[in-house]
Structure 1
Amino acid sequence: MLNKNYKVLVDRPVGYQDSFGTIYPINYGYIPGLLAGDGEEQDAYIISDSVNGPLSIFKGKLAAIIHRRDDVEDKFVITSQDETLTKEDIQEATHFLEQYFDSWIELI
């Protein structure tokens, strides 16, 4: 599972505003067919320098898993094949949502 490429279907593209008023600065979606701890398909953040705007689909590699101590599911971080992300890159890009959770990042 960890050294695999994934296709992410983006249901919250850059600029999306959720019911809480949160505006998504990065693309966020799910991996079809891969179930997460909540019984739904696995959620994924897309962090990549090659992405300049809203997407509908992204294919890339698993760069990290964000584990949430106070939630039933973890979040995948997907990036382009040729990119390497640091924990700081991931924290900065996902802070808009992860600030509400007690989470930690496992680099892959």
Structure 2
Amino acid sequence: MKNCASVIGSIVTVTVDRPMGSVHPKHRDIFYPINYGYVEGITVPDGEWQDAYILGVDEPIQEFTGKVIGVIHRLDDVEDKWVVCPENMSFSEKEITEKTDFQEKFFKTEILV
């Protein structure tokens, strides 16, 4: 979790592979009300790129550059999820929880902001 804290405030580019309005490729009952993707070049324990939620963008997009404002640490999974938003915006821990609950409700998590 210590390494997670160091990423907060960083500017990253997220490639969106699950745009707002899409469904999960394997779990068809999970609908994405926000854009979701990955930060290329940062490999995580599952062998994939770092996943990221994008908040504060209200339309489907393909790529986004913004500020990491939080890390969702999954206590019962190997993955952590970054929370990214436009540089001039911020979201509270409660807002992050509400906006990512569509997927995070399946895990035990803590949010670092």
TM-score bracket for this pair, using the shorter chain length: over 0.9
Q: 2:31 aligned to 7, 12, 23, which one?
A: 23
Residues 1:70 and 2:76 are matched in the alignment: yes
CA root-mean-square deviation = 1.0
Q: C-alpha deviations, 1:19-66, integer Å up to 9, x for none?
A: 322110000000010111212100000011xx1210100100000000
Task: Give me the TM-score of the superposition, normalised by structure 2.
Answer: 0.89
Between the aligned partners of 2:95 and 2:32, the Cα distance in structure 1 is: 16
Task: Single out whichever of 69-78 and 16-25 deviates more from structure 2.
Answer: 16-25
Three-state SS of the structure 1 residue aligned to 2:58 is coil
Aligned partners of 2:38 and 2:51 also within 8 Å: yes
Length, aligned pairs only = 105
Aligned partners of 2:74 and 2:110 also within 8 Å: yes
Between the aligned partners of 1:43 and 1:73, the Cα distance in structure 2 is: 8
Query: Aligned residues: percent identity?
Result: 42
Q: Where does structure 2 lack aligned partners over 5 or more consecutive residues? A: 1-5
Aligned partners of 2:34 and 2:58 also within 8 Å: no
